[in-house]
């Protein structure tokens, strides 16, 4: 945190830490930057994982219907029945203690991949359900019937005819899923079930700052403000993308 002459490394103000230091003497500003990088990385990767898994399950359930739809829908109902915080804390605590072993692949309990996978799985129903609804409607459209009449297989129809028509939904959901993933990661890290120390994140920094909220309130306020601004900007961006891709909705609101 300091060079050989004892001067702070990182953003400074008159030779001191810009936002001060925590109880371990670490630069708050530097940890804020690195914590933001971890939070954004987890949010983006988890959102992309949710889109891939939710898209596949939603298309399968909506296009094939029948037993496939029943099995996937019931699994989504079970996952949706649990509050996200509750299931996130349960999975995060269990995996943080023992890690995760998938055949030859071993993931340590303090790895950032643990909260990424947990958040990606938890939010699958929030994307799979609207994709399923769109797939149910699209499979009865004329261009899908024409593709069947031409002898195209089911997999080819799904990827060439149905998938391009749900792309706008995925684009709209991406920033919203990133914002929700960042919020959930911060909540899990605050409760000790997300990012594990010494890795920084805005959630862990808020948890550490709460312990000194009276003597040094900026330790909790600074990461909290960054979290609010990031989530707010992503939500505003998502609203703008939705209005741009669906101008009819904007006309309905104006009238």
- The CATH superfamily of 12-254 is MetI-like (1.10.3720.10)
The confidence score (pLDDT) of residue 187 equals 92
pLDDT band, residue 159 (cuts 50/70/90)? confident
10-14, 63-67, 83-87, 164-168: the lowest-pLDDT one? 10-14
Give the list of residues 6+ apart from residue 42 with CB closer than 8 angstroms, or none. 112, 115, 116, 119, 181, 182, 185, 195, 201
**Per-domain residue ranges for the chain?**
12-254
Q: How far is CA 90 from CA 71, 101, 110, 191, in A?
A: 24, 17, 15, 11
pLDDT band, residue 12 (cuts 50/70/90)? low
Strands 12-13 and 105-107: unpaired
Torsion of CA 159, 164, 166, 172, to 10 degrees: 130
Residue range 219-227: mean pLDDT, rounded: 90
Give the list of residues 6+ apart from residue 75 with CB closer than 8 angstroms, or none. none
pLDDT band, residue 218 (cuts 50/70/90)? confident
């Amino acid at each position: 945190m300091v060079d050989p002459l004892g001067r702070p490394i990182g953003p400074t103000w008159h030779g001191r830490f810009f936002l001060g230091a925590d109880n371990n003497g670490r630069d708050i500003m530097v940890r804020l930057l690195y914590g933001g990088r971890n939070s954004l990385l987890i949010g983006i990767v988890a959102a992309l994982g949710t889109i891939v898994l939710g898209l596949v399950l939603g298309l399968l359930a909506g296009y094939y219907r029948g037993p496939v739809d029943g099995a996937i829908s019931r699994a989504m109902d079970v996952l949706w029945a649990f509050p996200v915080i509750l299931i996130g804390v349960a999975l995060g605590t269990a995996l943080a203690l023992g890690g995760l072993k998938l055949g030859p692949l071993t993931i340590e309990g303090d790895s950032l991949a643990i909260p990424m996978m947990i958040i990606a799985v938890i939010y699958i129903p929030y994307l799979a359900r609207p994709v399923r609804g769109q797939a149910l409607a699209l499979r009865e459209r004329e261009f899908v019937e024409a593709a069947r009449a031409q002898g195209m297989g089911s997999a080819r129809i799904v990827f060439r005819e149905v998938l391009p028509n749900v792309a706008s939904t995925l684009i709209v959901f991406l920033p919203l899923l990133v914002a929700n993933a960042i919020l959930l990661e911060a909540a899990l890290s605050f409760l000790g079930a997300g990012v594990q120390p010494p890795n920084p994140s805005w959630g862990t920094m808020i948890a550490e700052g709460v312990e000194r909220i009276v003597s040094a309130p900026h330790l909790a306020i600074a990461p909290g403000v960054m979290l609010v601004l990031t989530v707010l900007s992503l939500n505003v961006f998502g609203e703008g993308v939705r209005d741009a891709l669906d101008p009819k909705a904007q006309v309905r609101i104006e009238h």
